[in-house]
Amino acid sequence: MRPVAKLLFARHIQSLLRKFASPQSSSWGDGEFTLVFLADRDTRGAGVPVFLGWKMLKNDSINEVWAAGGTDGSLSQPQTKRVPTHDERASLLRKLEEVVRTSERSANAGTIWKFDVAYRLEGSQILYPHRPIECDGGYIVTLPREPDAETKGWGHNPGVGVLLSVEATDDQDAIAAGWEAQFELVLFWTFLSSSYCRAMKNLFSVKSNWPNSKRQLAALRLPEDQAKAFQWYSSRAAVAVLPLR
């Protein structure tokens, strides 16, 4: 595994693991990256813990990956675990090997896809656009109050929906990538509003089709006349017009 592809390799591995297992824990310390997932859940929800790990050092290639399945050592941590049969363990180890081989090929080839992800921003007195606007590669609308708004410290007012495009390995990886990508836009909207706002939750994550994604977010927006009611400045008369030089 080439050094420049290491992070993409980790993202591909987690995407492929999510197809047959659920994440339990991950760690990155002392130059090692490790993952524990729970696979083959039974009717009680108990599954078999599986493990993948490798050295993750700057400027070094990944030369080997460790794989395990069972309930020993660090794999004993999940609460809903069960001991696999001999055949089940062998089958899971073959799956893990295929995950590693496929991720290696994809990462070395730089394989990644575009996704559209939307988030809900909330704040106490933020700016609410009465019509959808496009801003710095994002698409922004005003959203209605949430049904449980009265029970939350935040969220008594409408929210703001933000749509972005990111590159990712699957829809869940896109959500994680989007949390980082929306940070600058949140700071920008805080500056415009003169009031602190923050992203509260993901609304959706889909393979990129910008026109369709805009329509999907716009379908959630607050009607224009209701959004205008929250624009306190729109109801005030101008007292002076100052020319700009």
Per-residue pLDDT of the chain (245 residues; tens, 9 = 90+): 666 788 999 999 999 999 999 999 998 888 889 999 999 998 888 999 999 999 988 778 888 999 999 888 777 787 888 999 999 999 999 999 999 999 999 999 999 999 999 999 887 778 888 889 887 788 999 999 887 766 665 556 788 999 999 999 999 999 999 988 888 888 888 888 888 888 889 999 999 999 999 999 999 998 888 888 776 554 444 444 445 55
118/230 same-domain check: yes
Question: pTM of the prediction?
Answer: 0.82
Structure tokens at 37: 């997932």
Total number of domains in the chain: 2
71/46 same-domain check: yes
120/222 same-domain check: yes
* pLDDT given at position 229: 78
* pLDDT given at position 235: 45
* pLDDT given at position 236: 45
* pLDDT given at position 190: 85
Q: Which of 108, 130, 150 is the last residue of a domain?
A: 108
80/140 same-domain check: no
Q: How many helices (H) and strands (E) does the chain have?
A: 5, 9
145/47 same-domain check: no
245 in any annotated domain: no
**Alpha-carbon gap, residue 188 to 182, rounded angstroms:** 10
78/119 same-domain check: no
What's the DSSP call for residue 75?
G
Which residue type is seen at 224?
E
203/157 same-domain check: yes
State the residue range of the domain holding 75.
Answer: 3-108
